[in-house]
Amino acid sequence: MTNSMKEFEDSGCIFVIGSNTTETHPIIAGRIMTAKEKGAKLIVADPRNIHLAEFADIVVHHRLGSDVALLNGMMHVIVKNGWHDDKHIEERTEGFSDLEEVLEDYTPKKVEAITGVGCVDIERMAEMYAGNHPAALLYAMGITQHTTGVDNVKSCCNLAMLCGNVGVRSGGVNPLRGQSNVQGACDMGGLPNVFPGYQPVADQTANEKFSNAWGKALPERAGLTLTDMVKGMGDGRIKALCVFGENPKLSDPDSGHLDHVLKKLDFLLVQDLYMTETAADADVFFAGASVAEEDGTYTNTERRCMRGNKAIDPLGKALPDWDIICRLSSAMGYAMDYSCPEEIFDEMTSLTPSYGGMTYERLGINGLQWPCPGKDHPGTPYLHKDNFSRGKGKFHAVKYLDPDEMPDEDYPFFLTTGRMFSHYHTGTMTRVSPHLHSEQKSGYIEVSPKDAGDMMLNDGENVRVLSRRGQIEVPVKITSRVGEGLLFSPFHFRENPINRLTNPAFDPIAKIPEFKVCAVKLEKIAE
């Protein structure tokens, strides 16, 4: 996030797109409600009629995957009416004229045809967002999990820059991270092309720096993303896979395919807390420690690096994650002999400028928000206060593209996936928790009352859902959360593995698969 969570309470307008905030980030949802009660305007754009929508000033349900069109439509209206922030654009951005040219085309009428959102609503959204400064834009996986994910993000940034909402308190562009340490995993270089702190592996200076620090010549060519690794497993280029604390078998699109390629591996190593679907295929299983059993830091969605403290010794023979990795690395001939996580942290901060000023002692309980480059730097609640990291903020002229797969005669329904409030990710951690499990014990698929009526489906009845990639059976939940022609299903439940159906087509740059859109058909199961 460019900004901090607490700041939202003082926003003039909050625009939530592609985030079911009350269920997936409930504490942020609380802040949004407080902001609203204090007088902020709230705009919610989501294909489903989510809980947060009940509190919004304007709610629109745009067609799945039509985010770029919707955002361009808003910007069209803003520019037409001269509501944009000329001064900000002039002083701090570049590329505006290219964007302007593209926007020309996105008249409310055209956008209505693509998104299903009425012209009047598009105009109202534009006016509300532009007219209530500072406006914070919040998004989650509903923006990123598309073949056009990067375009979607760029459009969000365009909108924020257009109205001078970047580099201001209570504004900004704020992706809500889905997992506790996504931010940290990326910051730490858990990516194929960068070292910690986003220093490119291909950059000679960076590569030399890390090669020297680690006492080994490091590869300069960027590696494979997960999506490409899956391909590599299929064609035999990848022979071994080490999976630390993840369960891709349930979380990946077209999981039937993944199932198949995992079996082709010569060696699969899995480290986890439980016997997950992925772990069941492993050759070796490492028993890792949970959050309560080890010291370490986590970086949350607002870039705040915080300490988690060990409360109990690892249960059974489980070992702290860092310890396991040290042992494995040493056994492979590359010695790692750290005595505690703090030592690792100190090595990391010495190589990562944005974390450079952090120490365990300084973090305390509250943590620090990066960038925090020096020992007396107080951390950074919001980014780009005076300048953009790459100099001027760049507008990207983005055109709308359809999702990879659209409903047709054979597969007439849109299917989208996501989370529900008491579960998390592939359910490994939440389904073993009695209180969370008792809220929702099985998977389900949301069907609109109209569609359920047409197909004579009853609530709770098992139905077959088919896509071009596979089929599953799942109980029906009849609800007006979804409109006609739209289905939703959470992906936490292994008995109803919805990712058998999802489309592995991915964004060409971010390589994020299109979990949020695919085409399916429903079949009543004969009694």
Partner 1 sequence: MDYQMVPSICPYCGVGCGVLLEVIDGKLAGTLPLKTHPNNEGKLCIKGWNLHEHVVSDNRLLFPLVKEEGRFREVAWDEAIEISAKRLKAIIEEFGPDSVGVLTSAKMTNEANYLIQKFSRAAIGTNNVDHCARL
Partner 2 sequence: MNMMHEIVKEWLEQEKIDLFIGYKVVDGHPLPCFFTRENIDDVDNLVESKARYPLEKIAAKVYSTHPEMKIGILARDCNQRALNVLYVWNQLDPEKIETVGINCCPSPAREHADCSYLEREPSGPLKTLIGIENNLKPEQAEVYSQEERFKRWSYEFEKCIKCYGCRNICPVCFCKECSLEHSDLIKKGELPVEIPIFHLVRAVHMAGRCIDCGLCEDACPANIPLRLLYREVNQITARLFDYRAGTDSGQSPFSILGENVTLEPMSL
Residues 417-446 that bind partner 2 (CB under 8 A): 420-422, 435, 438-440
Closest to 428 measured CA to CA, from 262, 278, 258: 278
**C-beta separation of 139 from 56 below 8 A:** no
Residues forming contacts to ligand SF4 in the complex (CB under 6 A) are 25-27
Say whether residue 263 binds partner 1 (CB under 8 A): no
Say whether residue 226 binds partner 1 (CB under 8 A): yes
Say whether residue 204 binds partner 2 (CB under 8 A): no
Q: Count of residues for the chain? A: 527
Query: Strands 41-45 and 58-60: what pairing?
Result: parallel
DSSP result, 145-192: SSTTHHHHHHHHHHHHHHTT-SSSTT-SEEE--SSTTHHHHHHTT-BT
Question: Of these partners, partner 1, ligand SF4, partner 2, none, which one is at the site of residue 404 (CB under 5 to 8 Å by kind)?
Answer: none
Q: Phi-psi region for residue 182, left (φ > 0), alpha (ψ -120 to 50) or beta? A: alpha
Say whether residue 374 binds partner 1 (CB under 8 A): no
Classify residue 54 by its DSSP letter. Answer: G
Q: How far is CA 102 from CA 90, 138, 312, 397, 399, in A?
A: 19, 24, 57, 6, 7
Question: Of these partners, partner 1, partner 2, ligand SF4, none, which one is at the site of residue 36 (CB under 5 to 8 Å by kind)?
Answer: partner 2
Residues 330-369 that bind partner 2 (CB under 8 A): 364-366
The smaller minimum CB distance to ligand SF4, of residues 30 and 256, is found at: 30
Say whether residue 23 binds partner 2 (CB under 8 A): yes
Copy the structure tokens of residue 80.
């037409």
The smaller minimum CB distance to ligand SF4, of residues 145 and 300, is found at: 300
Question: Of these partners, partner 1, partner 2, ligand SF4, none, which one is at the site of residue 77 (CB under 5 to 8 Å by kind)?
Answer: none
The smaller minimum CB distance to partner 1, of residues 269 and 455, is found at: 269
The smaller minimum CB distance to ligand SF4, of residues 27 and 456, is found at: 27
Q: How far is the CB of 9 from partner 2 (least distance, A)?
A: 9
Residues 51-70 that bind partner 2 (CB under 8 A): 51, 54-55
β-bridge partners, 14: 42, 136
Task: For residue 394, give the 3-state DSSP assignment.
Answer: strand
Say whether residue 26 binds partner 1 (CB under 8 A): yes
CA–CA dist 40, 15 (Å, integer): 10
**C-beta separation of 9 from 148 below 8 A:** no
Q: How far is the CB of 25 from ligand SF4 (least distance, A)?
A: 6
Say whether residue 119 binds partner 1 (CB under 8 A): no
The smaller minimum CB distance to partner 1, of residues 436 and 466, is found at: 436
Query: Strands 194-195 and 173-175: what pairing?
Result: unpaired
Give contact residues for partner 2 (rule: CB under 8 A).
22-23, 26-27, 29-30, 33-34, 36-39, 51, 54-55, 364-366, 420-422, 435, 438-440
